[in-house]
A = this chain, B = another copy of it.
Amino acid sequence: MAKVYTHMTMSLDGYIADLNDGTGELFGWYGAGDVTVPSADERWSFQVDANSAEMLREVLAGAGALVCGRRLFDLTNGWNDSHPIGAPVVVVTHNAPEDATKWPRTTFVDGVAEGIARAREIAGNKHVSVASADIARQALDLGLVDEVYVSLVPVLLGKGIPYFANLTSAPQRFDDPVVIQGRGATHLRYRVRR
């Protein structure tokens, strides 16, 4: 069945980027092996170890829509309307850009629940991936997330942008994860308990 999941790369102390949005200490695993995993954008591919490749192929193949916030959309210029996951993007925002037609595969929706509902429609039988930490946290609070994937990187950043900050519906309990040890990241896949 189609599910809603969120996948983030996180340091052992819980950060998904440094305070300047830098991911240099975290994203090394995307290039730490010799197995090429193509993205949906032919200009980009990943070079990972065999275990990470298995995880990454599944994530890429399963996604039918991607939900993000306006900040990540702006940071990436909306991935130029072509996210490497190969799926249409739903941006949760109170203010759609005036030139929204520049991103024809991208949908702008006000509200997290509404954005995920729209992404479910777009995804059909495939999965919905929540790509912004802030949206993921709100979706967790609303009980809308089925699985949480964490690629846990063996580094302590000391400070940065936290994955799970400001959760209001805590404690949130998960089942024990499926674990795949990759080179440079431990991939943990948790099912959220209802």
Contact = CB atoms under 8 A, between A and B. Distances in A.
Contacts of A168: 158
A12 interface: yes
Interface in A142-167: 148, 150, 152, 154-159, 162-164, 166-167
B186 A13 contact: no
A193 to B, nearest CB: 9
Interface stretch (A37-45, A96-104, A119-127, A172-180): A172-180
A179 B170 contact: no
A81 interface: no
Contacts of A158: 164, 166-172
Interface string A62-76: 000000000000000
Contacts of A154: 173-177, 190
A59 to B, nearest CB: 19
Contact of A156 (B155, B156, B170, B188): B170
Contact of A170 (B140, B157, B175, B186): B157
Q: Is the interface of A mostly helix, strand, loop or mixed?
A: loop
A13 B155 contact: no
A135 B12 CA distance: 18
Interface of A: 12-14, 25, 140, 148, 150, 152, 154-159, 162-164, 166-177, 179, 181, 183-184, 186, 188, 190
A152 to B, nearest CB: 8
Given A12-B164, A155-B174, A179-B186, 9 more contacts: A12-B148, A12-B150, A154-B173, A157-B170, A158-B164, A158-B170, A176-B184, A179-B179, A179-B181
A14 B12 CA distance: 8
Contacts of A163: 13
A170 B176 CA distance: 29
